[in-house]
Amino acid sequence: MNSRKSWVNKPLLRNVIKNNLFPAKISLIVFFGFVALALISADGTGIGQLCIGLFGISAVVLTTVYPCLIQSYLINKTKSSMMKTIPLQSRCVWFTNYLAGYLIVLITLLIEGIGIIFIDIARSYNLVFSGNILFRFILMIFMLLFIYYTITFLVSSMAGNRLGQIVFSIVVYTLPVVLLGSLFIFSNYLVPGTINQFETYYIYVVFPLAAGLEFISTGNLVVIIHCFIALVLLELSYYVYKNRDDEHIDEPLVFNKIGIVLKSGIVLIVTITIFYLVLLFSYIDITFGIKGMLILLMVYLIIGIIIAIFVEMIFKSQYIYRKLLIYIPILLIFFGINYFIANSQYYKTLDEVIRKPSVAGELNISNFENDGSLSINIEHDQLLNLIEYLNKNRDKIHYQQIMNNNANVYFNLYNIDNRGNYNDTLLQYRFDKQLFIDYFKNQEKSYLNSDNFENESYLTGYYDGIEICLNSNETKQLYQMSKDQNIVAEDFFNGDMLELSGSSGKKYNLKGNERIYEFLKDEKIIGHTKFLEQCKKFIYDDTLLTDENSKIFEFIKEQLNIETFTLYNNEIELIEFDDIYATFSMNITAVGEIQNYDISLMIKLENENEKIIISSINRKAGE
């Protein structure tokens, strides 16, 4: 084992380990200090969970520190020359040093990992350290340490001073996070809509830690890919060690032959960060067609080229502008990969959304001339045509609100719950009024004219900045005034449109005229609108459910035949109203000492001597 041809020299291995135990000892002392606190502390203090975080910090710090510490002789000309005089093959010296640091960190993390398992058992945190998961957890310590330690060992051997070792180590840890984060951040600038998640495959391929955690949880073997890459990097590490040029010691980078890889990582990290900040804090009218993408690419390349020049100047490189021929393709490839992944994920998300029968759309028109907004419901069977049209006109779809424009149109795709309410915005598009007008001009059937709202129990909305409420009879009168209207797309931008909401939850758009305006200003409508506002204020008052002397409280006590309970309001809905009364449905949960009760009430309110009172309470039909 001690022969000149062996891979490991035992005396050298023992000596390197013995002289470099200090960081590991500090890590163990701090970790088990917290373990002791976790065991003696009360439940709920979170110290046990803190130990898990401390384990992760320890892994990152030790994996970064030890490759630099073990190879510290490489950044000292005297020590580096002395090591070359040792009567051992360079391969043996290199691997012995590699193995020494790996074993120190491995044993430290295994001890701390066993400590976490012990805490889980002792405090019943239920981290599920049992069976196959326990085995995979221990195995993952070996594998992830091999991956990250090898990467850091390689970049440390390429550096010529301590600053270079630290900076390059940070780069290799940060680059996967930045690349992964850029997928989420830049997708909003590269494709219309908003994509909130990507295939987990991308995460596992880019981020070894994510692949390792997935292996612990499910046994997914994607992490093996990273292990094979680490083997290649280990071989590369020996090549760098053997061919280092000691003349450049004290400079950040000693080994320049593959130094371009590290410098490219720095360029990408800084470029992505600055590019995002530029997009975040400056106004660039980004559209999603070819024109918009070329503008983005130009901004991105200009930033990248400037950063590349600065990086080369810092490293005192020669032929700086020639090296731009390397950096520019790298920047282009990265931008292209982001664009490809964002588009593939966008179309996949879109396909999944369209297939859901519970999905519908809504067009919102922010009309500044009308001092408000209007909306148009797009049913599921109409979605595909509109989305295909938008995708063919991506140059007219904008990332953000269009400045210096008197109208913006937003198209939102929503999930619809079983009550018909719009929840969870799935995708959103922004475009200008001309695209809206052009689309509806080409439709054989107009979706702009409102459906028949004659049978709605009531309508509510705003006219001239004031809320208006129409009862059933007034709703029928308004329908007769507007049923023959022919609304075209341009009408939504001339300031004469009205949006009213019906008792069914549907929205209706009407074209205003003198007759309709006079009708809406009728004193009777204004009067019961004020009455209804008072009724809403009364019915939403929490004291109705907390005051034991209230009519609602007494009614429920009588109906359920219970004495002690607490009431919670689940939902209130207006059913109908007139000049002198308003009827609301109220779904209530009564929490008793033994069980809970759900009850639906119909509550009628009236005005008595300028005061709103409850005139009747009944259980909802079918209860």
Mean pLDDT of 357-376: 71
Contact predicate 326/312, CB 8 Å = no
Both 380 and 486 in one domain: the answer is no
pLDDT in tens, 74-119: 777 777 777 777 777 888 888 999 999 999 999 999 998 888 887 7
Give the chain's domain count.
5
| Amino acid 445: pLDDT | 59
| Amino acid 124: pLDDT | 58
Strand partners, 511: 497
DSSP-H helix ranges across 282-378: 290-314, 320-355
Task: Look at residue 138 and tell me if it is in a domain.
Answer: no
pTM: 0.70
Both 517 and 548 in one domain: the answer is no
Per the model's pLDDT, the better-predicted residue between 43 and 346 turns out to be 346
* 580: three-class secondary structure by DSSP: coil
pLDDT at residue 3 is higher than 70: no
Task: Look at residue 279 and tell me if it is in a domain.
Answer: yes
pLDDT at residue 444 is higher than 70: no
Both 309 and 363 in one domain: the answer is no
DSSP assignment, residue 201? H
Mean pLDDT of 603-622: 85
| Amino acid 106: pLDDT | 94
Q: Which domain holds residue 417?
A: 356-446
| Amino acid 252: pLDDT | 67
pLDDT at residue 197 is higher than 70: no
| Amino acid 103: pLDDT | 94
pLDDT at residue 396 is higher than 50: yes
| Amino acid 2: pLDDT | 47
439 CB neighbour count, 10 Å cutoff: 18
| Amino acid 44: pLDDT | 57
Mean pLDDT of 288-303: 91
Both 435 and 458 in one domain: the answer is no
Task: Look at residue 141 and tell me if it is in a domain.
Answer: no
* 281: three-class secondary structure by DSSP: helix
Mean pLDDT of 373-396: 82
How far is the C-alpha of 340 from the C-alpha of 448, rounded, in Å?
Answer: 36
Among 489, 521, 553, the domain boundary falls at 521
Both 173 and 309 in one domain: the answer is yes
Task: Look at residue 119 and tell me if it is in a domain.
Answer: yes
Task: Look at residue 53 and tell me if it is in a domain.
Answer: yes
Both 118 and 160 in one domain: the answer is no
Both 225 and 92 in one domain: the answer is no
Among 497, 521, 545, the domain boundary falls at 521
Among 521, 539, 566, the domain boundary falls at 521
Residues 6+ apart with CB under 8 A from 214: 200, 204, 220, 222, 223
Task: Look at residue 171 and tell me if it is in a domain.
Answer: yes
Both 96 and 236 in one domain: the answer is no
Task: Look at residue 433 and tell me if it is in a domain.
Answer: yes
Both 400 and 469 in one domain: the answer is no
Task: Look at residue 499 and tell me if it is in a domain.
Answer: yes
**CATH classification of the domain holding 542:** 3.10.450
pLDDT band at 604 (very low <50, low <70, confident <90, very high): very high
pLDDT at residue 623 is higher than 60: no
Both 268 and 172 in one domain: the answer is yes
Tell me how many degrees the CA angle 302-305-309 measures, rounded to the nearest 5. Answer: 140
Average pLDDT over the chain reads 82
pLDDT in tens, 479-531: 888 888 888 888 888 778 888 888 887 888 888 888 888 898 888 888 888 88
Both 323 and 208 in one domain: the answer is yes
Both 475 and 347 in one domain: the answer is no
